[in-house]
């Protein structure tokens, strides 16, 4: 990969936009309004204090709008989350006379203290959101697609990294492949405030990521996990289409429950196969180890550690190497985020070769993970489409449920 990636010359366009210019002063005025009201009243300026107080009805919603629009430029969700919470608390303070019992303006009155606490919490949060927004827009810069993707995939894009972490805590699946925004449950309602809902062009991505992510990518080292249902043709033959669909959905849910907490990019669900990318920017520098551990956990989740046998026979392949990762497709049309290259093809071949309950791990992945392989069976495979054979190690989940053969690797 060409390391001489440079930012696009945007000297004329990279200055602060109108939204950016308005964010910090507007948030600051709104946060300072409740603080100034008391001193103005004490100074005998009751009328200006009342006007300033009533302006919070306007400024607090405007702050939410401005922070939301600013998020659309710098892509870091934290300013909107923190500042938005502050705005909501200030609105609750304004509405407190309507839902709290009538009470005198006495600091010893508990209802008065509740109302003021909303202000004391809301103002610092709003100021914190303004500061986070200022810092986020300082980091944001327009650059070539290759440079953008390099920052994303190598973990140098803090907004996306934080967003993936926080969005993963919200229920529920399915999720956006890139940012982890949930598409169902209460989490989906919250994400819609950020424009994160399934795209009509590609439902595996949210509309926000699809419109903001440029076509292009970068060549990086990563680890890939392919999980393949063994004997799916026979399963489909002996079950009805709806029963087979429910079985596959159960498999997809189990895979999602394992892969999302492991910080994998769930590339795709294709028929009876799951593809996951463990890139350094999300899974960390130990992406090979995390891919192997996720493979083990996936076999456990599909019942391969159960003495009665698995509820679905699955084979897994794990491989590490250089691949192109990014957004592919046609600008303005159907696009997808995926990985391409020989490393990807090899990982797919490993999964298709693995037997039920087996994880075929390339020697490259074991070496990258820093794991010993003396307890694991060794094989040398002739993979379809490859001129050279590949050395792999075989990890299994014992039928007795005792655990993974060679578990001492992790001790």
**Of 188-192, 270-274, 324-328, 381-385, where does mean pLDDT reach its minimum?**
381-385
Tell me what pLDDT residue 226 has: 97
186 with 224, same domain: the answer is no
Pairwise pLDDT comparison (134 vs 342), residue with the higher score: 342
Omega before 174 cis (within 30°)?
yes
In whole angstroms, how far apart are CA 114 and each of 30, 61, 82, 89, 106?
19, 21, 20, 11, 12
Domain's final residue, options 81, 113, 139: 139
123 with 80, same domain: the answer is yes
175 with 318, same domain: the answer is no
Could you read off the pLDDT of 360-393 as tens digits, one per residue?
Answer: 999 999 999 988 777 889 998 887 777 788 999 9
CB contact at 8 A, 314 and 299:
yes
Instruction: Answer yes or no: is pLDDT of 37 > 80.
Output: no
CB contact at 8 A, 129 and 82:
yes
* Structural domains of the chain, count: 3
Instruction: Answer yes or no: is pLDDT of 10 > 50.
Output: no
Domain's final residue, options 209, 232, 254: 209
Instruction: Answer yes or no: is pLDDT of 313 > 90.
Output: yes
Instruction: Answer yes or no: is pLDDT of 336 > 60.
Output: yes
Mean pLDDT, residues 4-20: 40
352 within domain boundaries: yes
Pairwise pLDDT comparison (201 vs 269), residue with the higher score: 269
6 within domain boundaries: no
127 with 190, same domain: the answer is no
Q: Please, which pLDDT band fits residue 322 given cuts at 50, 70 and 90?
A: very high
Q: Please, which pLDDT band fits residue 156 given cuts at 50, 70 and 90?
A: confident
**Of 189-203, 279-293, 298-312, where does mean pLDDT reach its minimum?**
189-203
Please list, in sequence order, all residues whose beta carbon lies within 8 angstroms of the beta carbon of residue 384, skipping any fewer than 6 positions away: 349
Q: Please, which pLDDT band fits residue 332 given cuts at 50, 70 and 90?
A: low
Task: Please name which of 76, 245, 271 lies closest in space to residue 160, comparing C-alpha atoms.
Answer: 76
CB contact at 8 A, 106 and 192:
no
278 within domain boundaries: yes
Tell me what pLDDT residue 227 has: 96
233 with 297, same domain: the answer is yes
12 within domain boundaries: no
Q: Please, which pLDDT band fits residue 2 given cuts at 50, 70 and 90?
A: very low
Sign of CA dihedral 42, 91, 69, 156: positive
CA atoms within 13 A on the CB side of 249: 8
- Between CA 163 and CA 78 the distance in angstroms is 8
- The highest-confidence range among 65-69, 99-103, 228-232, by mean pLDDT, is 228-232
- Between CA 120 and CA 89 the distance in angstroms is 9
255 with 184, same domain: the answer is no
Cβ atoms < 10 Å from Cβ of 374:
9
329 within domain boundaries: yes
Tell me what pLDDT residue 269 has: 83
200 with 234, same domain: the answer is no
Tell me what pLDDT residue 400 has: 31
Could you read off the pLDDT of 184-200 as tens digits, one per residue?
Answer: 888 888 888 888 888 76
79 with 186, same domain: the answer is no
pTM above 0.75, yes or no: no
Task: Please name which of 104, 114, 96 lies closest in space to residue 56, comparing C-alpha atoms.
Answer: 96
281 with 319, same domain: the answer is yes
What is the rounded average pLDDT for all residues in the chain? Answer: 81
- The highest-confidence range among 44-48, 274-278, 376-380, by mean pLDDT, is 274-278
CATH number of the domain within which 362 lies: 3.30.70.1230
Tell me what pLDDT residue 18 has: 61
Q: How deeply is 160 buried, as exposed, middle or buried, from its count of CB atoms within 10 A (0-12, 13-18, 19+)?
A: buried
10 within domain boundaries: no
203 with 237, same domain: the answer is no
Provide the residue range defining the domain that includes 184. Answer: 145-209
9 within domain boundaries: no
2 within domain boundaries: no
What is the share, in percent, of the chain residues with pLDDT greater than 90? Answer: 28
**HEC-encoded secondary structure of the chain:** CCCCCCCCCCCCCCCCCHHHHHHHHHHHHHHHHHHHHHHHHHCCCHHHHHHHHHCHHHHHHHHHHHHHHHHHHHCCCHHHHHHHHHHHHHHHHHHHHHHCCCCCCCCCCHHHHHHHHHHHHHHHHHHHHHHHHHHHHHHCCCCCHHHHHHHHHCCCCHHHHHHHHHHHCCCCCCECCCCCCECCHHHHHHHHCCCCCECCCCCCCEHHHHHHCCCEEEEEEEEEEEEEECCHHHHHHCCCHHHHHHHHHHHHHHHHHHHCCCCCEEEEEECCEEEEEECHHHHCCCHHHHHHHHHHHHHHHCCCCCCCCCCCCEEEEEEEEEEEEEEEECCCCCEEEEEECHHHHHHHHHHHHCCCCEEEEEHHHHHHHCCCCCCCEEEEECCCCCCCCEEEEEEEECCCCCCECCHHHHC
235 with 292, same domain: the answer is yes
230 with 254, same domain: the answer is yes
Domain's final residue, options 209, 224, 251: 209
């Amino acid at each position: 990969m060409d390391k001489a990636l440079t930012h696009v010359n945007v000297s004329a366009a990279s200055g602060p936009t109108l939204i950016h210019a308005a964010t910090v002063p507007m948030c600051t005025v709104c946060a300072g309004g409740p603080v100034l009201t008391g001193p103005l009243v004490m100074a005998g300026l009751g009328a200006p204090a009342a006007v300033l107080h009533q302006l919070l009805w306007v400024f607090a919603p405007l702050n939410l709008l401005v922070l939301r629009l600013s998020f659309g430029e710098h892509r870091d969700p934290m300013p909107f989350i923190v500042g938005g919470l502050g705005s909501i608390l200030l609105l609750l303070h304004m509405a407190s006379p309507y839902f709290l019992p009538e009470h005198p303006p006495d600091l010893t009155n508990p209802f008065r203290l509740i109302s003021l606490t909303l202000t004391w919490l809301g103002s610092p949060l709003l100021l914190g959101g303004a500061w986070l927004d200022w810092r986020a827009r300082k980091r944001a810069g327009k650059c070539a697609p290759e440079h953008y993707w390099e920052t994303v995939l190598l973990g140098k894009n803090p907004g996306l990294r934080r967003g993936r972490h926080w969005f993963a805590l919200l229920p529920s699946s399915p999720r956006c492949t890139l940012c982890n925004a949930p598409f169902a449950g209460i989490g989906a309602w919250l994400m819609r405030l950020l424009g994160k809902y399934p795209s009509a062009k590609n439902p595996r991505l949210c509309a926000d990521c699809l419109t903001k992510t440029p076509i292009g990518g970068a060549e990086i080292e990563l680890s890939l996990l392919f999980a393949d249902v063994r004997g799916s043709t026979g399963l489909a033959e002996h079950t009805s289409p709806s029963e087979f669909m429910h079985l596959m959905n159960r498999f997809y849910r189990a895979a999602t429950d394992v892969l999302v907490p492991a910080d994998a990019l769930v590339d795709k669900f294709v028929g009876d196969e799951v593809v996951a990318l463990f890139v350094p920017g999300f899974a960390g520098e130990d992406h090979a180890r995390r891919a192997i551990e996720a493979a083990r956990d996936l076999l456990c989740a599909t019942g391969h550690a159960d003495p009665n046998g698995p509820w679905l026979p699955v084979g897994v392949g794990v491989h590490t190497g250089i691949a192109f990762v990014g957004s592919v497709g046609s600008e303005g049309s159907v696009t997808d985020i995926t990985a391409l290259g020989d490393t990807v093809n090899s990982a797919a071949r490993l999964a298709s070769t693995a037997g039920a309950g087996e994880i075929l791990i390339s020697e490259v992945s074991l070496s990258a993970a820093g794991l010993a392989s003396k307890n694991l069976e060794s094989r040398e495979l002739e993979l379809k489409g490859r001129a050279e054979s590949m050395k792999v190690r075989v990890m299994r989940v014992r039928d007795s449920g005792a655990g993974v053969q060679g578990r001492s690797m992790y001790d």
